Amino acid sequence: MIDLFINGKRVKSSSLETRNIIHPANGEIVETTQEATKTDVEQAINAAKNAFEKGPWPKTTNIHRSEILTKVAELLERDKQIYVKAESQDTAKRFIESEYDMDDVIKVFKYYAELIKTQSSRKVEVGRQEINSEIDFEPVGVIGLITPWNYPLLQASWKIAPALAAGCTFVIKPSELTPSTTSLLMDTLIEAGVPAGVANMVLGSGLVAGVPLSNHPDIDMVSFTGGLNTGKQIMVEASKTVKKIALELGGKNPNIVFADANQEAALDNALNAVFLHSGQVCSAGARLLVEESIHDTFVTELARRADLIRLGFPGDEATETGALISENHLIKIEKYVAQAISEGAILKAGGKRPTDPALQKGFFFRPTVLDNCHAKMQCVQDESFGPVLTVETFKTETQVIELANDTIYGLAGAVWTNDSNKAKRVAKSLRVGTVWINDYHPYVPQAEWGGFKQSGIGRELGPAGLAEYQEPKHVWQNLKPGVTHWFDGKEVK
């Protein structure tokens, strides 16, 4: 049983209601969690508020917070395999993918441990010797964190590490589908020395447990990663108390392949771009834009390889990708593909559930390639968040830039070409937050992550990721105060 975590302790839901966590690969119950009520969420917010206003954490030195974050990273390394098993049970991703995720989580805590250690006030030169002007960086306050199901602990670390580094306190609501590793992290934080009340966790649906984190007056900021429609609702709720927001809302990411690209590398990475974790990745390269002259050979080979991708269970070394997160999501993907075909897309690979008897209890869907697509089709504009690739063609550099930008999203994209100047021109023209040239998917904690347009607001990772959880305060000190004589105090006769 996974309990709530409030003020440094495990607590039951005030309603004692529970929820079962289902393994997506076999449909079996792997864990049961408490379901928070509105009262439980308010208790967690109160604990975070008290810890911020009366506790030591916001007032500790950057060096001390750095030491705590470093300790968190060390404990995560010690318990890595425990986290890996829990992450794969919740998400059905391969163990090796969960191991990679854990390595990245550890890097994030280490990065912010180093970054906060070196941060200091910024001197402002005002041209007057008697004035000492500085910009201090103070914690925003109590943060509401709402995280998704596809990368549960990784997305949590992108928020928790900089929030703690800044001196904030928080209440986190992980996805109700994948709460296990976030729950484990609460114990790790306490063991590392994070004071009680600084880190709190509530579990349950977005409607009950998530909404108060968006509109409660004692929440100073809400950071959300998830779907566009939910993000819009959070903006509305947050506006009621004019709180700070940070949103990462997904994308419909173009993967551009020119005829002069390294074809083998482009093919291999086109598969990785969209079918990694069965396409359940916000930055997935789900739109393939391939130059017309190589379209036929490129897409034929791509479809052939897609049909050979091996679906399976997390612990099976032969598995190349796993199940979708839930039955509802599986049904959504089936409808998405059917709609695309009705619009005129040509099915080149996949498009159905696997026939392997061993996979029938899980939520599996074959990697799917849809050819003959164009920018006006719903499948090109809407995010499937599944193993579905749409293929478009182009003739010129100008045309492909227009096609790639013809979307409400702007999270990521890639350009494949051996012409460095062309690659840089196209990368400069793409309205996205991350561009890969002759690569796809890598990121580092040192570099900012986030989107243009409706892919979100604000940035995670990098120095900007820390700045999201800080308030700059200008302190002006006059070392030689004097009389201004602006209002002389004399009576006019």
Residue pair 445/461 in contact (Cβ under 8 Å)? The answer is yes
- CA 340, 335, 330 angle in degrees (round to 5)? 125
Closest CA to 426 of 464, 400, 395: 400
Closest CA to 351 of 340, 367, 330, 364: 367
- CA 469, 467, 461 angle in degrees (round to 5)? 95
Q: Within 10 A of 485 (CB to CB), how many other CB atoms are there? A: 7
Q: Within 10 A of 28 (CB to CB), how many other CB atoms are there? A: 13
DSSP 8-state assignment for residue 486 = S
76 contacts: CB under 8 Å, gap ≥ 6: 83, 102, 105, 106, 109, 188
DSSP one-letter string for 234-251? HHHHHHTTT-EEEEE---
180 contacts: CB under 8 Å, gap ≥ 6: 2, 21, 31, 86, 87, 89, 90, 152
Q: Show the 3-state SS of 331-383.
A: HHHHHHHHHHHHCCCEEEECCCCCCCHHHCCCCCCCCEEEECCCCCCHHHHCC
Closest CA to 440 of 230, 286, 214: 286
Nearest-Å Rg of the Cα atoms of the chain is: 25
Question: Amino acid identity, residue 403?
Answer: L
261 contacts: CB under 8 Å, gap ≥ 6: 416, 417, 418, 438
Q: Which residues are catalytic?
A: 248, 282
331 contacts: CB under 8 Å, gap ≥ 6: none
d(CA 465, CA 450): 10
